[in-house]
Each structure stands twice: as C-alpha cells, then as structure tokens.
C-alpha cells in the first residue's frame, strides 16, 4: 500500500495548510470556531485515507504526475468521509471511534461537565453541526479546484447527487435495524452499494480520472472496479465488526449486533439456522446490554450454520470480479499492481 501511504502524507500537508488558513475566519465567528478546528483536524487526518488516495490514483492513471491541482479534491473526499462518520456514530450510538470517544460523546462529556440539562442531546446536536461543517468545507474545496468550469461543475454535481444517495441508504439502514422487515440478500447488497461502495471507491476513482482527462471508457471501468472493491471492503467491515478485536477496531466488537444491523451475516444466519437458534439470535440482536458472551454465542452459530463460509465465498467472488475489472482497464501495469494490492488489503485487513 506504498502508493496510498505516499499520497496520505501529501494530502495531510494540504489539509494542515487549508485548516490553518480557516483558523482566523472561524475564530472570528464565535468561541466554537477554535473548538471545531481542534476536533476536526486530527479526525480528518486519521484513518486509512484511502478515498483521497483513490482520487490521486485515478488522476495518475491518466499518465499525469501528481500535482497540487488534485489536492483540493483529494482533501474534500476526506472531509466528506469525516462528516459521514461523525453523523454515523450518532445514528449508531457508537461512543468510540478509532480508540477515542466519538465526537458526539466528547461533546456529551463536555455538556455533563458544564452542567447542561441534557448532555447527551447536547452532544448529538453539537456533533451534527460539526459534521455539517465538514460537508461545507468539502464543497468549498471543490469550488476552489483550478480546472475548467465544466469539469468543476461536473464534480460538484456528482458529489451532490451521491451524498443524496448515501443519505437515502442511511435511512434504509436505520429502518432495517429498527424493524423486523423481511429482506433479501439483494436488498442488503443494494444498501451496501449506495451506503459504501459508490462514494468510497467508485466516485473517488472516477473524479480522479475526470480531473486527469480520462476517456469515458476508462471512467466506466473505474466505476465498476470501484463498486466491486467497495462491496468487498464492506463485507470485510461486517466480518471485523463481529470477529475483530476492540483494540484493532478502536470500538467495541458487536456494534452491528447491538444496533441489529441487517448485514449479510444476519441474513444468512436467519435463513439457515433452526427455529430455536433464530429466536435466540433475534433476542441478542438489538440488545442494548450486549455482552461478549452474547457475541461469542453468535460467532458459534455463524460457524455452526456455515455463514462464515458463505461470506468468504461472496468475498472470493468479489475479488475475482475486481481482478476481471482490473484486467479490462487500459492502464499501465504498475497501476494494475496498485489495484491488486488494494483488493488484497480490502479482503485481508485486520482493522
């Protein structure tokens, strides 16, 4: 993953300069300006920062050397990711992210220290505002791209549309988790398609290609490749959420169970398990007092009914799909190798 690590350094440096320039402006508004910058700066620069790397990769694939023109777009997708995660933690009631308190929980703790009437509500409201600021910063960066007006308008339109789709997918995800609605595997995959795959992989690759002047045929290929990579990444996320370690995940194991997320693991188990085990599984899902012993029960059921193998088979099929898409791209061999490496990383990562 050397390419992504290299781009990560450059994008981080750009973000530092951008946020430093925003400081005087923000501080001049009110006392929260400094606070927002203190909270969003480390958040936006932590994590894998794969999305900004994909923007850079899509650009460089078009036989262009990485230049400063690409960094506003690369940084913008990291602000979008940051904003979505801030809001996602509120929706999922996850008190920890990357080993530290989630931003809404940080604000809740501050509210408690300052004696506000409802600290949890205060924390949620403040984090919603912070997430919104992340979106606005992203679109400010898109608006500052030093490219032809038509290209800039295309990128802003694509991201505006995509974030509407992400919002709709989040609503579907929340509805699935709060109800016992009958769903099919395809419903879950469609949710993953709009909630993760498109904005996380397809669109970053595509806008990098657009900025690099890619041929429409290559753009289509990058979209398809990104879609398969995004689905693979999400299935691995589901697996890590159930089998990973709290230390590596940076948050408690079993969050999807606690929120009764309708993952493919959930679907396959309900389809394959006996009546007694399904009833027990449904009692565990959505339990606000979820314990590690309950998580272990579910792990045992997953193995008992071959769910793990079914998920592994799905992931293997997606990897083959990724490989086929990579083979069809009109790009240099070194970029094929980077995409192969990303595919392997997505399937085998530990966090």
Could you tell me if 3 and 57 are in contact, meaning their C-beta atoms sit under 8 angstroms apart? yes
User: What pLDDT sits at residue 74?
Assistant: 98
Whether residue 273 is predicted with pLDDT greater than 90 in this model: the reply is: yes
User: What is the model's pLDDT at position 111?
Assistant: 97
Domain span holding position 60: 2-348
Question: pLDDT-based confidence at 1, cuts 50/70/90?
Answer: confident
Q: Would you state the pLDDT for residue 50?
A: 95
What's the confidence (pLDDT) of residue 350? 85
The pLDDT confidence band at residue 52, using thresholds 50, 70 and 90, is very high
Question: Could you tell me what percent of the chain has a pLDDT over 90?
Answer: 90
What own/partner pairs with CB < 8 Å and gap ≥ 24 does 338-346 have?
338/3, 338/57, 339/57, 339/225, 339/229, 341/1, 342/1, 342/4, 342/50, 342/229, 343/229, 343/232, 343/319, 345/1, 346/229, 346/232, 346/233, 346/236
Query: Average per-residue pLDDT in the chain?
Result: 95
Distance CA 279, CA 138 (A): 45
Provide the pLDDT confidence category of residue 21 given band limits of 50, 70 and 90.
very high
Give the model's pLDDT for residue 249: 83
- For residues 52 and 65, what is the distance between their CA atoms, to the nearest angstrom? 15
Residue 196 has pLDDT above 90, yes or no: yes
Of 201, 211, 171, residue with least CA distance to 67: 211
* 99 — pLDDT class (breaks 50, 70, 90): confident
Q: Check residue 47 and give its pLDDT.
A: 85
pLDDT of residue 263: 95
Residue 298 binned pLDDT confidence (cut-offs 50, 70, 90): very high
Find the CATH number of the domain harbouring 22. 1.10.600.10
Complete DSSP assignment for 91-147: HHT--EETTEE-HHHHHHHHHHHTT-S-HHHHHHHHHHHHHHHHHHHHHHHHHT--S
Average pLDDT over residues 312-335: 95
pLDDT at site 39: 96
The pLDDT score that the predictor gives to residue 98 is 85
Q: Which pTM was predicted?
A: 0.94
Which pLDDT belongs to residue 232? Answer: 96
Mean of pLDDT values over 193-220:
96
Summarised one tens digit per residue, pLDDT across range 222-270 is 999 999 999 999 999 999 999 988 888 888 889 999 999 999 999 999 9
Say whether pLDDT at 181 is over 90. Answer: no
How many domains does the chain contain in total? 1
Whether 101 shows a pLDDT value over 90: the answer reads yes
Assigned token pair, 205: 């690759």
- Indicate if the pLDDT at residue 315 is higher than 90: yes
Structure confidence at residue 69 (pLDDT): 92
């Amino acid at each position: 993953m050397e390419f992504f690590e290299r781009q990560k350094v450059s994008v981080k440096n750009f973000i530092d300069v951008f946020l430093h320039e925003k400081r005087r402006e923000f501080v001049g508004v009110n006392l929260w300006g400094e606070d927002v910058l203190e909270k969003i700066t480390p958040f936006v620069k932590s994590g894998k920062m794969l999305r900004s790397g994909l923007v850079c990769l899509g650009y460089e694939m078009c036989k262009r050397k990485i230049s400063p023109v690409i960094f506003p777009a690369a940084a913008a997708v990291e602000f979008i990711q940051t904003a979505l995660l801030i809001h996602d933690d509120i929706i999922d009631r996850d008190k920890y992210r990357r080993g530290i308190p989630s931003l809404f929980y940080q604000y809740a703790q501050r509210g408690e220290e300052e004696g506000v009437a409802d600290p949890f509500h205060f924390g949620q409201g403040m984090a919603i505002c912070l997430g919104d600021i992340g979106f606005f910063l992203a679109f400010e960066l898109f608006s500052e791209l030093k490219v032809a007006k038509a290209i800039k308008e295309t990128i802003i339109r694509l991201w505006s549309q995509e974030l509407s789709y992400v919002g709709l997918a989040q609503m579907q995800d929340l509805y699935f988790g709060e109800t016992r609605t009958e769903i099919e595997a395809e419903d879950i995959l469609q949710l993953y398609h709009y909630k993760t795959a498109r904005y996380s992989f397809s669109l970053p690759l595509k806008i990098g290609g657009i900025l690099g002047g890619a041929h429409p045929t290559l753009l289509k290929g990058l979209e398809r490749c990104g879609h398969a990579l995004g689905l693979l990444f999400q299935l691995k996320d589901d697996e890590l959420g159930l089998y990973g370690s709290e230390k590596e995940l940076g948050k408690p194991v079993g969050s999807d169970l606690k929120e009764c997320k309708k993952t493919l693991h959930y679907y396959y188990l309900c389809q394959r398990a006996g009546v007694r085990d399904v009833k027990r599984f449904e009692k565990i899902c959505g339990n606000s007092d979820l314990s590690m012993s309950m998580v272990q029960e579910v792990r045992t059921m997953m193995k008992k009914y071959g769910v793990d193998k079914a998920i592994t088979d799905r992931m293997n099929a997606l990897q083959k799909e990724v490989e086929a898409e990579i083979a069809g791209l009109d790009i240099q061999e070194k970029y094929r190798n980077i995409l192969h490496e990303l595919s392997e990383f997505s399937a085998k990562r530990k966090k």
